[in-house]
Structure 1
Amino acid sequence: MKGPASTLLNRIEFPVLLAGLAIAGGLWGFVELMELARATAAHGFDTEILLAFRQPGQPGVPIGPPWLEGAMRDITSLGSASVLVLITAATIVYLLLIRRPGTAFLMFVAVAGGQLLSSLLKVGVDRPRPELISHLVNETSLSFPSGHAMLSAVTYLTLGSLAARFLRGRATKIYVLSLAVLTTVLVGVSRIYLGVHWPSDVLAGWCAGFAWAMLCWLVARMLQRRKVVGESE
């Protein structure tokens, strides 16, 4: 005889369960990192990783060949507000042209909501930028969480999940989602390389952005099942 718990688990689909676990894990990771960010002194792993991206004894000189710094500047721009707004706007217009207004609205809510959440979290924690090494780009906002890391996770993972809905073949879907994850990771690493974020800022941005993107995916899935958002809308 099956109990209530067994019946409930049978009704929950594996992707939904996995998304729920990802959201819970992301929130847990963010809370843990937030406690670290509120400490008066920087954590050892934060300082060690930052210094690992600089020449020994030269905090103003990044590691790697001369062209790497320029490449990191280019990569970090993929997580800038202007680029993400442009990508989001282009996607929304495309979705409207193919008559999927519900999906376009969900895309807007996911990215705009992520931007608002990122701003609120920065003010709530109020962590300054690292001064341990020189900054290779100019930044004036607060440090925790990394807005570039968080919003790139929100935007690219949401785009990847939307694209996967319209693509055929498991290999193609995996490729698109992997590309979204890779872009998000590269943007976050570039923020540490350029010296404008503590590593914990970037990790927190990934945690919060991934959790938010998964939550938006769950909402989109629920609306699709209820025929509010569908293939033809």
Structure 2
Amino acid sequence: MQTQYNEIINSFVDKYGLSRGQVVAEIERTFSTMLSRWYGTGTVVLFADDYLQALHYAKQSGIPLQNQLDFVSVRGWNTIQRALDRNFTKIACLNEVTRYKQLEHELRWGDIIRKSTDGFLVEIEIEKGLAIIAECPLNRVGVHERNTLAVGQRRAFHLRRVDSVKMRGITRVKVVVDRVSKNLVTALLREQLGTATEITLYCAKRYVGHKSFVEASGCLPKQVILTVSRELHEHIQVTVEKIAVGNKS
């Protein structure tokens, strides 16, 4: 069994995208927890020179004793395997949530793949080359387009929130997008202007499906405004004026 530990560690690294250090630490923690339940408190599992050791500490007549458990005789390997898979899934999920949290409030284009009375499921590319299914609740879509948005359409969405949730005991990443944020207006305008522009934008007010009021530090081409207006199905009014530092977008 000992000769297989490197292969086991590498398989977990590849499967869950974790570092070797994370995998080793979680194996030690999980084994220590499970074996302590079966053999009593004071069981510690650790790697030493790529060799997994299980040490049980106890007192006999007031004298502390250390015994090494024989892994060959340990039962419950399937239980430990399931615990490791569950824990590694959670760690990988939390790592993803931490990474994706930094992308909140950004613009993402997505394909609507399902529509229900509760809202929409949208496939977005949350990172370049990485597609993920996001939820868009019905109340996060303007009343004016709830009946017109349909499966197969590609639309712009605001990346509203990224969280971890438990589904049937398994930790998953939950991504929520919307079409009603003021940030979506300025993000679409900025996309049309291009990354080289130095114009700052601020959406002062948005009446979804009717009109958005945007303040800009410079003039915007008419075609840019019209393109965003068509995507959101609402009028965009842009005024050029000095924007306060805290309102820059």
Q: Which protein is richer in helix relative to its size?
A: 1
Q: Which protein is bigger by CA-based radius of gyration?
A: 2
Tell me the TM-score normalised to structure 1 length. Answer: 0.24
Tell me the TM-score normalised to structure 2 length. Answer: 0.23
Q: Which protein is richer in strand relative to its size?
A: 2
Greater relative contact order (Cα 8 A, min sep 6): structure 1 or 2? 1
